[in-house]
Amino acid sequence: MQTRINEIGDGIYRLSTFVPDIAPPAGFTFNQFLITGEEPLLFHTGLRKMFPLVRSAVSRILPPERLRWIAFGHYEADECGAMNEWLAVAPQAQVAHGQTGCLVSLNDMADRAPRVLQNGETIDIGNRKRVRYIDTPHTPHGWDAGVLFEEESGTLLCGDLFTQLGDGPALTDRDIVGPAIAAEDIFRYSSLNPGMGTTIRELAKLAPRTLALMHGPSFAGNGAAALRALADDYDRRVGTALTDSGFVAHDQTIAA
Ligand SMILES: [Fe+2]
Ligand SMILES: [Fe+2]
């Protein structure tokens, strides 16, 4: 395995490792994003067993011991499995996550105390980069789920949202909603809940110009339209699930 590095925005690097054995024959990618500045931030640590690979990739951009912030969408191995390995190599590094994630997992699991981010709180990375933390509970999964929005570039680090199979380009302007719907049909990785359409439409209000997918290419274009289309699909799924379960009668209309 190897990790490819692409600069998808000014000072924003995508580190991508393709694993052909997951969901063959298409395979699956794991991406981390490094935002450079006086206080560099890594979004997703990579799996614990991928740490040597990801550390080596980071070291081609900056000395790993310079990392200041370690952030991720939710507590899960591909999001934060190497969290403590990073804390060990970067003495100034601190995990930053929302209140729920810190309370439920990170206050105990992180080797150093995490910084607790309020919903909407920002971290100034330097180099004109500022990331805003946004709670997205149970969307697409995990009570502690959240995303980061880099305000200067309009980049939404959207974690598992829009997950797709395959090894696409680093950056695309092609449709990412269709492949995400196909992957949801296969993996069923999302915690379908009545609030998720609303949660995703709130992210659309940020009008992101780039969507940085954890599992898929980064998307350059109308991020709001893609998010609204994804929200519509989740509303459809939730509606179908409620109808199929008998909770909502077939002849009742479910408001979107
Ligand atoms: Fe996940
Ligand atoms: Fe993930």
Consecutive sets of 10 residues in the chain, 256 residues long: mean pLDDT of each?
96 98 97 98 98 98 98 98 98 98 98 98 97 98 98 98 97 98 97 97 98 98 98 97 83 56
Exposed, middle or buried by CB within 10 Å (0-12, 13-18, 19+), for 122?
middle
For the chain, the average pLDDT equals: 96
Q: Which ligand is nearest to the CA of 164?
A: 2
- pLDDT value, residue 253: 56
Tell me how long the chain is: 256
Listed in order, strand segments (DSSP E) in the chain are 3-9, 12-19, 28-35, 41-43, 69-71, 94-98, 115-117, 122-126, 129-135, 146-150, 155-157, 171-172, 210-212, 218-220
SS3 233: helix
Output the CA–CA distances (angstroms, integers) from residue 199 to 231, 232, 239, in the order listed: 8, 11, 16
- pLDDT value, residue 252: 59
- DSSP code, position 125: E
Q: Which ligand is nearest to the CA of 45?
A: 2
- pLDDT value, residue 250: 60
Q: Which ligand is nearest to the CA of 141?
A: 1
Q: How far is the CA of 76 from the centre of ligand 1 (A)?
A: 6
Q: How far is the CA of 178 from the centre of ligand 2 (A)?
A: 18
Q: Which ligand is nearest to the CA of 29?
A: 2
Q: How far is the CA of 78 from the centre of ligand 2 (A)?
A: 5
Q: Residue 126 and residue 143: Cα distance in Å, rounded?
A: 30
112 contacts 94 by C-beta, under 8 angstroms: yes
Q: Which ligand is nearest to the CA of 75?
A: 1
Hey, which residues does 134 pair with through a beta bridge?
147
Q: How far is the CA of 189 from the centre of ligand 1 (A)?
A: 8
CB contact set of 142 (below 8 Å; sequence gap of 6+): 73, 74, 75, 76, 191
Q: How far is the CA of 73 from the centre of ligand 2 (A)?
A: 8
- pLDDT value, residue 247: 84
pTM, to two decimals: 0.95
Q: How far is the CA of 27 from the centre of ligand 2 (A)?
A: 14
